[in-house]
């Protein structure tokens, strides 16, 4: 038990999926996992543990933004000894080549959050994905025929920018393909604990083309993302 989580020691599997939305966490648990039990309900951020094709896996919602995610990730790694974290979130496209509903597998993530600076100090930090998870995700996405892009992303603490495209112009020049609010913190905290992390996000809007998905599509909009993440979990657990 922690100040933010009522789960007992050992309640989480070593691999945890991290949607931001609590409703998405519940949807994943109910529709994809076997033998599911709820292990946390505190602060309306539910956690579940079950299995997928015989592999133990948990789901824990993290809320919105870097500060909220950083708390849950820290406690999962420190108090519950989780070793592998896979974020399942949404992002905005910064490239006109990113189609709506396609997936972005984040290779590395820049961030503007003070959380990252407080964790690491005054230096810029190259927060990146675990390579083995990144490779598995890219391979499985190609094999499954899922529209996806592997590339560098950015995370921002501000959702409603008055001129977002102008704000991200420099990032686009340096090859950043998408922006969310959490991936940079996930990678930073995971690396602090020598844990493994990966972020897979669904493109729900594109700042360059002006296209956006409709909220009525959720949660089915995220099915390909969840299926890819679970394929990675199974492949990662396979012997050899």
- Say yes or no to pLDDT of 143 above 80: yes
CATH 3.40.50.1580 matches 15-237: yes
pLDDT at 225: 97
- Say yes or no to pLDDT of 232 above 70: yes
Q: How many CB atoms lie within 10 A of CB 38?
A: 15
Token pair in block for residue 35: 């033998």
For the segment 90-105, the average pLDDT, to the nearest whole number, is 95
DSSP annotation of 115: H
Q: Is residue 205 among the annotated active site residues?
A: yes
Assign 3-class secondary structure to the chain: CECCECCCCCCCCCEEEEECCHHHHHHHHHHHCEEEEEEECHHHCCEEEEEECCEEEEEECCCCCHHHHHHHHHHHHHCCCCCEEEEEEEEEECCCCCCCCCEEEEEEEEECCHHHHHHHCCCCCCEECCHHHHHHHHHHHHHHCCCEEEEEEEECCCCCCCCHHHHCHHHHHCCCCEEECCHHHHHHHHHHCCCEEEEEEEEEEECCCCCECCHHHCCHHHHHHHHHHHHHHHHHHCCC
pLDDT at 159: 85
For the segment 135-144, the average pLDDT, to the nearest whole number, is 98
Domain ranges in the chain are 15-237
The answer to whether the Cα torsion of 12, 137, 103, 221 is positive or negative is negative
Token pair in block for residue 130: 């675990």
What is the average pLDDT value for the chain, to the nearest integer?
91
Residue-wise pLDDT tens digits, 112-124: 776 666 665 655 6
Q: What confidence tier does 109 reach under pLDDT thresholds 50, 70, 90? A: very high
- Say yes or no to pLDDT of 125 above 80: no
For the segment 185-197, the average pLDDT, to the nearest whole number, is 95
58, exposed or middle or buried, with CB in 10 Å at 0-12, 13-18, 19+? buried
Rounded to whole angstroms, the Cα distance separating 50 from 95 reads 37
Q: What is the pTM of this model?
A: 0.94
Active-site pick, 78, 112, 157, 205: 205
Which carries the bigger pLDDT value, residue 107 or residue 1? 107
């Amino acid at each position: 038990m922690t100040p933010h989580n009522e789960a007992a020691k050992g309640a989480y599997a070593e691999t945890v999926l991290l949607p931001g939305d609590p409703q998405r966490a519940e949807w994943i648990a109910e529709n994809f996992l076997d033998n599911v039990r709820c292990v946390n309900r505190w602060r309306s951020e539910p956690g579940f543990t079950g299995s997928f094709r015989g592999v133990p896996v948990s789901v824990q919602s993290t809320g919105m933004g870097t500060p909220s995610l950083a708390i849950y990730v820290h406690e999962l790694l420190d108090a519950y000894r989780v070793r592998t974290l896979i974020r399942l979130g949404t992002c905005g496209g910064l490239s006109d080549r990113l189609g709506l509903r396609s997936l972005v597998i984040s290779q590395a993530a820049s961030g503007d959050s003070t959380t990252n600076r407080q964790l690491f100090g005054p230096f810029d930090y190259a927060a990146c994905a675990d390579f083995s998870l990144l490779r598995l995700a890219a391979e499985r996405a190609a094999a499954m025929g899922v529209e996806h892009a592997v590339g560098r992303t950015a995370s921002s603490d501000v959702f409603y920018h008055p001129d977002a495209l102008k704000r991200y112009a420099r990032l686009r020049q340096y090859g950043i393909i998408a922006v969310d609010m959490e991936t940079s913190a996930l990678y930073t905290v995971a690396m602090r604990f020598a844990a493994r992390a990966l972020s897979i996000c669904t493109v729900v809007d594109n700042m360059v083309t002006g296209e956006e998905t409709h909220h009525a599509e959720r949660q089915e909009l995220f099915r390909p993302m969840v299926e890819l993440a679970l394929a990675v979990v199974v492949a990662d657990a396979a012997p050899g």
